[in-house]
Chain A
Amino acid sequence: MSGLWTIYRRELAGLFFAPLAWILLCLSLLYNAFFFLLYLKSSGGRVDAALEQTLGGAWPFWILALFLPPLITMRMISEESRSGMLEFVLTAPVSDAAVVLGKACAATTFLSLLWACVPVYGLALHVLGAPPDWGQVATGYLGAVLVSALFSAMGLTASALTGTPILAAFLAMLANVAATILPLASGAIRDIAPTTVDWLTERINVIGTFQSSFLTGALDSAHLAFFVIWTAIFLFAATRLIEARRWWG
């Protein structure tokens, strides 16, 4: 457990010691602020609607949510396996699972920091005299963190799969897009095998799960479990891939 904490701290420090994290953070905050103002204007000053759209109700959120985590996680395993750092960490008295979990937590923390700008907008509006529905903001934020955790886990799996960070990022982006697009486009391919497609979309419908509960402020344990289980599956896969790396040499 202390190993997990050590790895987590190291990864977070590693992220913030590199300029990439700061640049991504800065650009993403600008991006979020731009869209928030846009939503605020277009919704005619309806605070809750604007916050909802910033936090997952509209596609700009999903662009960040799909493309940012792979950029954060791409180096975490693939580059370390190249530079020999992975060998160091895996011969230290820490379990493989703690290494993967520590890295996933670090990536999730970074993305949580990014989404934290939305409650800050809410706070600003509150101070200015337009209090938002804080319960809804809180569940929306929790949902955004869970989405980030899931995509970070997918990113780590991709990173464990290849020794090239850029390829890892690209693989993770493809996987993220495919997983989120499929439920949206399921109507087009439903004719092929209706039951299978329905079964599949129900189980990988990230956007639907997120929007139907977290975003509306209704916390559903089944939807919570959806994210936790998928994240766990990918973390497990990443751990196994690291183990497989030992066998490949």
Chain B
Amino acid sequence: MIEVQNLTRRFGPFVAVNDVSFSVGRGEVVGFLGPNGAGKTTTMRMLTGYLPPTSGSVRIGGHDVVRDSMAVRRTIGYLPEAVPLYREHRIEEMLAFQGRLHGMERSAIARRTDEILERVGLAERRRSPIASLSKGMRQRVGLAVAILPDPEVLILDEPTSGLDPVQRVEVRELIGEIAKERTVLVSSHILPEVEAVAQRVVILHRGEIAADGTREELVAELGGGAAVRVEAMVQDPEEAKRLLGSLPGVTEVRDQGRLGIHHTFEVASADDLREDVGALAASRGWPLRELSWKRPSLEELFSRIALDLGDAAPAPAAAPAADAPDAPAAPKLEVSLGVSQPEPAAKPAPTDEPKRQVYNLNPFELGGQRDLGEPKDACDE
């Protein structure tokens, strides 16, 4: 539906968007993510035909944005960041204006207006002047205006910026609903906003695409940095470090030093090895104080990209499957999102999860006699 090829935009010597290529399939919901100034708005403006690209091409629904601008404009609904509404008009007048701009029949405008105002929850406010509406309501009116002509492609630039948390959730839910039957490109500099509605995320950084994929793919691709943090009383830190390092799947053990009588290690691995580390501690008789799993959320990855791409990407976590065939399978990383999240618009089909191997959780059963090199399938017990 949207095909972007080698899109570049310069403002004088400043390169706002540099050689960006991606494509969005019909019905797909794609999140456009990037810190402020990453080139999201510039890219979106080029997609709508408002800004001509310096080089490269954009095709929407098969039409070239520059050559066949009118056809593209009829295909897309665009909501810029500063919601464009005439303050002196009433909601229904603004919708009628949009309908007439798109050449809709009077009866069609009336029908769609009823339908859409119902949908965005502003049916009773239809005669309110736009100047009297709250920001959240205006955002909803903006969305209503954008979807009035029933466009195939929706381009939403920061639709939740400047809203309070309640309004945010409202608008996000609305977008999720609207996105069900359309191709949507939604931008934000706030990750959960994008994650809540989009299956796929394109991360822009300094005008270039830093990453593109589903959130699982992104975590896997950019990932690393996951570790089990263990704080325990150990007799011999060196020995403990060696033992921890010998656990399958461990890429690195970092000695965080001693605090009081406790010693802290960070056991880096792509997978959650808490059970393994716990079992090891139990078998060695280390009194445990803390055992926790620190995983990088997409949020962290994103902020690393935002801060600087170069030193951000840590050495990619060794693919567990390749290095240790019998290592526990990668757990699905759930990215914690904080506030209550609506269901993503469409969940990726659940892949058949491989049987998960864990160490025996009962340290008293086999205890220290167990061979730590051999993972034991919990399901066998």
Contact = CB atoms under 8 A, between A and B. Distances in A.
B55 to A, nearest CB: 14
Given A18-B88, A83-B84, A246-B52, A6 B100 contact: yes
B86 interface: yes
B101 A249 contact: no
Given A6-B100, A83-B84, A249-B11, A91 B89 contact: no
Interface stretch (B43-51, B245-253, B303-311): B43-51
Nearest to A91: B48
Contacts of A90: 50
A91 B88 contact: no
B101 A92 contact: yes
Given A13-B89, A85-B86, A93 B102 contact: yes
Interface string B131-167: 0000000000000000000000000000000000000
Contacts of A10: 86, 97
B82 A83 contact: yes
Contacts of A199: none
B207 to A, nearest CB: 13
A6 B97 contact: yes
Interface stretch (B73-81, B196-204, B256-264): B73-81
B113 interface: no
A191 B88 CA distance: 53
A87 interface: yes
Interface in B68-98: 70, 73-74, 76, 78, 80-84, 86, 88-89, 93, 97-98
Interface in A177-211: none
Contacts of A87: 45, 50, 80, 84
Given A88-B80, A93-B103, A247-B52, A17 B97 contact: no
B103 A85 contact: no
Contacts of B11: 248-249
A16 to B, nearest CB: 9
Contacts of B103: 2-3, 93
B49 A92 contact: no
A116 interface: no
B360 interface: no
A110 to B, nearest CB: 15
B269 interface: no
A71 B80 CA distance: 28
Bin chain A's interface residue count. Answer: 20 to 34
For B49, B81, B82, B84, the residue with the greatest tally of chain A CB atoms inside 10 Å of its CB is B84
A97 interface: no
Contacts of B73: 91-93
Nearest to A18: B88
Given A10-B97, A13-B89, A91-B48, A249 B42 contact: yes
Given A17-B88, A91-B73, A93-B70, A6 B82 contact: no
A94 interface: yes
Contacts of B86: 10, 14, 85
A129 interface: no
Contacts of A88: 78, 80, 84
22 contacts: A2-B100, A3-B101, A7-B101, A9-B100, A10-B86, A10-B97, A13-B89, A14-B86, A84-B81, A84-B83, A85-B86, A87-B50, A89-B101, A91-B73, A91-B76, A91-B78, A92-B73, A92-B98, A93-B70, A93-B74, A94-B101, A249-B16
- State the 10 A-B residue pairs at the shortest beta-carbon distance, nearest first: A88-B84, A84-B82, A17-B88, A6-B100, A92-B101, A93-B73, A91-B48, A84-B84, A93-B74, A85-B84
